[in-house]
Amino acid sequence: MPFEIQHCLSSTGIKLRYGISTPDNARGHIFILQGRAEFIERYNETARDLAARQIGCVTFDFRGQGGSVRETPVPEMGYVGDVADYMDDAITIADHVQARHDISCPMLMTHSTGGLVGINLVLADPKRFASVLMISPFFDLNGPDWLVGLARVLSASLCKTGMDKKFLPGQKLLSPLQPFQPDNLLTSDQGRYERSFALLHKQPELMVGGVSAGWLHACFRAQEILDDQLTAANQEAAITKTTALPPITMVMSGDDRVVSNAATKRLFAKHPQVKLYEIAGARHEILHERDELRLQFWRIFTNHISHYHRGWAVASPAQVNMPPTEAAI
């Protein structure tokens, strides 16, 4: 296994599980923020891909998932009370790894919900990371407007009545332990899907199932204020002659039925610090997709580090014979 796994406590006593991958002759480390219901072991292949480029990584399980603390009576419920709690988790791990292991991570990489957390981290402190690469960022749900609107109203109503730690309707019986279906939302690669399936069968304590009212309402609240946050940050940057955000590359999945690419484009298509790419045919989990789609991602990754982390640029077997990258939007 590529990760050395350890635990630490936050300042408020939250137990968090984190993993460090440091290959020989590592040129640096990347800080990875996971998506909802993910866990360290799902990034084993990614860690090996990075190691082939002499790059290490640090990742951790957000509270409520993987091997970190669960805060609900039903452990498999996906829950957080506020996205600020996820931000606290990320800062706790980054600071702990720096202090305990003398590892700093100048680059942030995120997936899905991790992107929502990540954008809040860099808006709060644009200098915390030298650059950011986001994969399938979650800035709104995909789906018909009426259905997303209903989810907003329902999750808010349940939270107001003290039912934030209850499953949303239809979520209680959801489980990641489902056999591969060709039309699933996450990946078209059966082998990689079944690899994650096998990990959870081996370590069922890492599993997270359906979504709680609290988790969805927390994400909706964070998403609803993003426009205002970006506007305020841009105005402050103009006054101080600085930048509102570090350089950010966002990689969208062309066939994403989980998060809204339209929301990502609306928020960031014209932002001077953000470059958008879309990989046609990829579903929500690009890092678990078919090889030809993953190779497109790694080409975008290579382009990103060649611009913002030039000391990390190194030839590797994975960079040979890559197909052309989808054009930037």
Residue 242 confidence (pLDDT): 93
Segment 291-308, tens digit of pLDDT: 999 999 999 999 999 999
φ, ψ (nearest 5 deg) of residue 5: -105, 130
SS percent in the chain: helix, strand, coil, step 5: 40, 15, 40
The 8-class DSSP code of residue 288 comes to G
Residue 313 confidence (pLDDT): 78
Residue 323 confidence (pLDDT): 42
CA atoms within 13 A on the CB side of 124: 11
**CA distances from residue 95 to 34, 70, 112, 188, 208 in whole angstroms, order as listed:** 17, 22, 23, 37, 26
Residue 112 confidence (pLDDT): 98
Segment 47-74, tens digit of pLDDT: 999 999 999 999 999 999 999 999 999 9
φ, ψ (nearest 5 deg) of residue 312: -90, -15
First to last CA, the chain: 37
CB atoms within 10 A of CB 153: 10
Residue 222 confidence (pLDDT): 98
Residue 172 confidence (pLDDT): 84
Residue 64 confidence (pLDDT): 96
**Residue ranges in the chain whose pLDDT is less than 50:** 317-327
Within its chain, how far is the Cα of 211 from the centroid? 17
